[in-house]
Each structure stands twice: as structure tokens, then as C-alpha cells.
Structure 1
């Protein structure tokens, strides 16, 4: 079943808002991340305890595309891959599902989006060299050797060991997968 771009964008945005709400409920402030002076983000909303930035997910308003990646690699990326990574700027969002803990990856700013594209190109080149099914990562797991990826041919969500073929299908689509996860907020110190 083909999922519309708007439906997936809405799912990504709603999960980010659920995470934000759960975080604020536990800590009574926005999420924090280490402040890096030369790595600003539209997500940043102020300073916390002098060394942290308060942040929140922000919808991307500038045009972000994967045209350069598709042209360089002479392929078309699945629409879900492009929609997911161009919906919002955000720090990673921790989540849980019945299969374990994970962190959803996003671009923090436009420079990070460019870096993300470079990493995706590297991943695709590795998959091509190994003659494996083409996937694109979108999350890390609590097992450093495993990632969650989207199959480029049909958009299904898989677990794969880095450098290996996907081995465990988690959902038919990214939108379906996002409905299966819940925010994982760190405990209070």
C-alpha cells in the first residue's frame, strides 16, 4: 500500500510531538542537548545550565531534496526515505518498541542534512559493493551492530546488521512502524 507523503510527514511530526510532550512532562522543560557554538540549529530555543541548548523539533521550511544523491548514484530513493528526512529538523528521538530500544535519526540543521546525505551515499555504495538489497538507515538500535532501515524497493522497515542483508522485517512501511513505537525518555537523575 502506498502511503502519501503528507500522511508520513504527519506521522513523523506527531511522534516528535509525543516525544516532546513526554519529555516536558518528566522534566518540566524542553529537551536538552550539548551546546555547540558552531553547530546552530533552528531547533534551539534557549540555554539550559550554561552548557546545554533547549530544543524542540521544527518543521523544515526550506526545500531539502535528495536530487543530488539520486543523480550521483543514478537511482531513485523510495519516497518514504525522502519524506522522513525532509520533514523536520530535530535531535535524535529515543523510542521503544516490542523489539527493543532505538533512536530515530534526523538532521539537526542544513549542514547536518548534507552530512546525512554523504552518510547515505556511503551506505548505498557499501550495499552495492556487497551486492545486497538496497536499504537506507533511519535509526540506530540498542545493539551497536544493528540499524533500522527502509528497503528502497518497497519501503518496508527492516533490522539489519551493519554490512549484512536485512534479516528481520518490522513493518510494511515507515508510517506503520512509527505507529508501533513509543517515546523513551531518560529517567530523572
Structure 2
């Protein structure tokens, strides 16, 4: 896929659809997640084995913004991170790249988007307190101490250890990074499968 022909929103959406197809090919049903009674999502598409929701990513059809975060912290967030987190609602999507395995983070619902904003505020305050370069996380790795983040000034993508400055650049842009990912589907839908 030639990156220049697609917007970041398109790349994120295409990756989510590739993930969905690969998951359905392996398990012959939509992805599943544990049902949480007071954490409903427009992504949910029914019940699976009583304790799981079937789900799929959906495009956001309401206006989500980071205006409140930017005003409260007097900082301008990079447009790429704002586009990424407002493109769709989804559970996390597992992926692989040349650097290893990761999970892309998204908001599950508008309620979860508010929680995401609070987590980003906490991350920014930590970075400010530590006098570190401002980054915004958007993925976690299989190593609990490392996250994938976007450099707020340049838009480049980095690996960073939590609480530390980014230490390894892995893409020039978020679009470049998303375009190199492949879906990583679990070997089993649930532990008892």
C-alpha cells in the first residue's frame, strides 16, 4: 500500500479491517472481549459464550477532540495523534512489526475516550515533571516497561521505557508505522478453546 495515497485515518481503518478479516478467518466469528456491565461500546455486536462480547471496530460518528486537554495543559498535541485516537472506536488490536509485538490502543467508547484523555494528561504531566521530551503513547508492547509513542514535536514514532526519554526511533511518521504493521491473531479465542 502506497502511504501517500491514504490519510492516517484510512491507514488505521484499513489495518483494523485486516485484523478483523484475519481474526474471522482463524476463528469464524468476530473478535471477543470480556463483558463489562457498565462499560458498553458501540463496537459490541452480541454475546459469545455468556461472558464475552463479540465486537468489531467502528468509525467514530461524533466529534471527539482534545481541545480540553490542550487548553488545560497549554500544549498543542500533534495532529497525527489526534487523528489516530478519533478515527474509530475499538478494543486494542494486536500487531507485529520488525521491532516485535505490540497492541494498538483505542477508545472503546465516548466514555473510554474521556478516560484515555485523563491517561494522556497524566503522561504529559509526568513528562513535564521529569523535564523530558513530550511524547504521547498509542501502543503497548509485550514488555510491560516499554510503550510506543509519538514525538509530539516531530511526529516520529519511538520506543520508550516508561518514565524515561524515548530511546529508539522506529518510524518517521505514524502513517509510516501503521503501514508496516501486520495483524497478530492469538492462537486461541479464549483460554478454554
Instruction: Identify the TM-score tier after normalising by the shorter chain.
Output: over 0.9
C-alpha displacement of 1:79: 0.1
SS of 1:33's equivalent? strand
Alignment of 1:11-50 (within 5 A): 11-50=11-50
Residues 87-143 of structure 1, C-alpha deviations (whole Å, 9 max, x = no match): 000000000111110000000001100000000000000001111000000000011
Within 5 Å, which residues of 2 pair with 1:110-121?
Answer: 110-121=110-121
Q: Residue 115 of structure 1 aligns to a residue in which SS?
A: helix
Aligned pair count reads 186
Query: Per-residue deviation at 1:179?
Result: 1.1
- What is the CA-CA distance between 1:48 and the residue it aligns to? 0.5
Give the 3-state SS of the residue equivalent to 2:147 in structure 1.
strand
Cα distance between partner residues in 2 of 1:140 and 1:82? 18
The answer for unaligned runs of 5 or more in structure 1 is none
Does residue 163 in structure 1 map to residue 163 in structure 2?
Answer: yes
* Structure 1 position 156, deviation (Å): 0.3
For 1:164 and 1:38, the matched residues in 2 are separated by 35
Q: How does 1:67-86 map to 2 (within 5 A)?
A: 67-86=67-86
Equivalent residues in 2 for 1:1-189, closer than 5 Å: 7-188=7-188, 189=193
Q: Which runs of 5+ in 2 are unaligned?
A: none
Counterpart-to-counterpart distance in 1, 2:142 and 2:33: 19
Report the secondary structure of 2:9's partner residue: helix
TM-score by length of 1: 0.96
In structure 2, the residue corresponding to 1:155 is in which secondary structure? Answer: coil
**In angstroms, what is the RMSD of aligned CA positions?**
1.2
Q: Secondary structure at the match of 1:64?
A: coil
The structural deviation recorded for 1:37 is: 1.4
Q: CA deviation at 1:145?
A: 0.3
Tell me how far apart the structure 1 counterparts of residues 12 and 97 of structure 2 sit (CA, whole Å). 16
Distance 2:181 2:17 in 1: 13
Could you list the runs of 4 or more consecutive aligned residues of structure 1 that deviate by over 4 angstroms after TM superposition?
none
TM-score (normalizing by structure 2):
0.94
